[in-house]
């Protein structure tokens, strides 16, 4: 089985997957194999897989539905690859399904309002260096995350070559190797943001990444700026404002601006529009109040 995992690793690398992605995906498969005691292909038992993943949920780390599904998908894609390579006749786990992420309250995120975002950006700009990132860089990182909906790993991959800032319609491009969809994504930029980006890029050494994103510690970094802005990391409803909540803010602000759902889906690059509408389109308090105020007088 070790040779098969190594073959899968080489296959992913050959297709242009990033080293981090390859390492994470293969590590998940290996953890399932080790946890279930699988030593050969014929050892793979669907019931043992589900029992192991359920045990992870109930264990000390209390992994959520999203993590459960990530491990399951890693195993299922490995088994599908084995079949496609002619190393096996059928996948023993193709019928398995993970829990519903929508009903898992483990780490529910909230969208930040325009006022909250302005306070966050101002606090970051005026703040000291945190985890190797200057206040100006953090503010620009947050701003770009909200205005483009780009994920942390995608933002971390950006260089000066990722941007077209000279055209009438400035854009940012994410290489296929760093995009979750495994294809190049080109997204529009606000003109005023393009100007700030141009000034920021000019000060960078040639070839450097745009941001020195502290991978794995983004929540810690953002909590510093949230505290400085007087904003809670976890609100009264138990919802979090971590870095990925900036992507939720992007979807919610698009909805609040009256953006057509299909356009919002395209900008957020969701394969399913239900994801855009149900998970990434939060309703702000002032929207609900305005909607009620707009009802006819009785």
Q: What is the pLDDT of residues 53-66, one digit of tens each?
A: 988 877 666 677 77
Residue 273 and residue 149 share a domain: yes
Q: Which CATH number covers residue 18?
A: 1.10.150
- Measured between alpha carbons, how far is 173 from 9 in angstroms, rounded to an integer? 26
Helix H or strand E encompassing 72: helix 65-84
Taking Cα atoms as reference points, which of 128, 214, 198 lies closest to residue 162? Answer: 198
- What number is the average pLDDT over the span 151-174? 91
What phi-psi label fits residue 265: left (phi over 0), alpha (psi between -120 and 50 degrees) or beta?
alpha
Asked which of 73, 103, 133 is the last residue of a domain, the reply is: 103
What phi-psi label fits residue 251: left (phi over 0), alpha (psi between -120 and 50 degrees) or beta?
alpha
Residue 205 and residue 119 share a domain: yes
If one counts the domains in the chain, the total is: 2
Tokens coding 10? 């080489």
Residue 196 and residue 173 share a domain: yes
Asked which of 77, 103, 129 is the last residue of a domain, the reply is: 103
- What number is the average pLDDT over the span 93-108? 75
- What number is the average pLDDT over the span 146-163? 92
Confidence of residue 215 (pLDDT cuts 50, 70, 90): confident
Confidence of residue 285 (pLDDT cuts 50, 70, 90): confident
**Would you say residue 43 lies in a domain?**
yes
**Would you say residue 98 lies in a domain?**
yes
At residue 281, the 3 state secondary structure works out as coil
Confidence of residue 107 (pLDDT cuts 50, 70, 90): confident
Residue 122 and residue 92 share a domain: no
Residue 96 and residue 56 share a domain: yes
Per the model's pLDDT, the better-predicted residue between 269 and 215 turns out to be 269
Position 243 pLDDT exceeds 80? yes
Residue 118 and residue 70 share a domain: no
- Measured between alpha carbons, how far is 79 from 77 in angstroms, rounded to an integer? 5
Residue 128 and residue 271 share a domain: yes
Residue 61 and residue 42 share a domain: yes
Global pTM reads 0.72
Residue 46 and residue 141 share a domain: no
- Please report the pLDDT score of residue 103 as a whole number: 58
Taking Cα atoms as reference points, which of 279, 285, 243, 255 lies closest to residue 120? Answer: 243
Report whether 12 contacts 3 (CB < 8 A).
no
The mean pLDDT of the chain is 89
Give the count of beta carbons closer than 10 Å to the beta carbon of residue 54. Answer: 12
**Would you say residue 224 lies in a domain?**
yes
- What number is the average pLDDT over the span 106-119? 90
**Would you say residue 289 lies in a domain?**
no
Q: Which CATH number covers residue 277?
A: 1.10.443.10
- What number is the average pLDDT over the span 239-268? 93
- Please report the pLDDT score of residue 3 as a whole number: 83
Residue 97 and residue 6 share a domain: yes
- What number is the average pLDDT over the span 214-222? 89
% of residues, the chain, pLDDT over 90? 59
% of residues, the chain, pLDDT over 70? 94
Backbone dihedral angles phi then psi of residue 163, each to the nearest 5 degrees: -110, 145
Give the residue numbers spanning the domain of 92. 2-103
């Amino acid at each position: 089985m070790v040779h098969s995992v190594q073959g899968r690793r080489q296959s992913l690398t050959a297709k242009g997957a990033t080293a981090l992605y390859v390492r994470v995906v293969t590590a998940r498969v290996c953890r399932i194999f080790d946890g279930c005691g699988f030593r050969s292909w014929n050892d793979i038992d669907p019931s043992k897989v589900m029992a192991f993943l359920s045990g992870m949920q109930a264990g000390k780390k209390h992994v959520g539905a999203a993590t459960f599904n990530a491990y399951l998908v890693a195993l299922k894609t490995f088994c599908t690859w084995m079949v496609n390579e002619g190393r096996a006749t059928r996948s023993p786990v193709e019928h398995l399904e993970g829990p519903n992420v929508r009903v898992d309250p483990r780490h529910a995120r909230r969208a930040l309002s325009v006022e909250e975002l302005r306070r966050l950006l101002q606090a970051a700009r005026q703040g000291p260096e945190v985890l190797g990132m200057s206040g100006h860089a953090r503010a620009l990182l947050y701003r770009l995350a909200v205005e483009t909906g780009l994920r942390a790993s995608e933002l971390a991959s950006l260089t000066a070559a990722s941007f077209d800032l000279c055209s009438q319609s400035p854009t940012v491009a994410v290489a296929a190797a760093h995009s979750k969809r495994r294809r190049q994504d080109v997204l529009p930029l606000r003109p005023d943001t393009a100007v700030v980006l141009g000034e920021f890029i000019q000060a960078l050494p040639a070839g450097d990444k745009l941001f020195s994103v502290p991978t794995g510690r983004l929540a810690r970094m953002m909590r510093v700026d949230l505290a400085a802005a007087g904003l809670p990391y976890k609100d009264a409803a138990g919802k979090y404002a971590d870095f990925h909540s900036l992507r939720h803010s992007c979807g919610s602000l698009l909805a609040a601006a009256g953006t057509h759902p299909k356009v919002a889906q395209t900008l957020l690059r969701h394969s399913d529009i239900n994801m855009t509408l149900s998970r990434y389109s939060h309703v702000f308090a002032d929207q609900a109040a305005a909607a009620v105020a707009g009802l006819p007088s009785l």
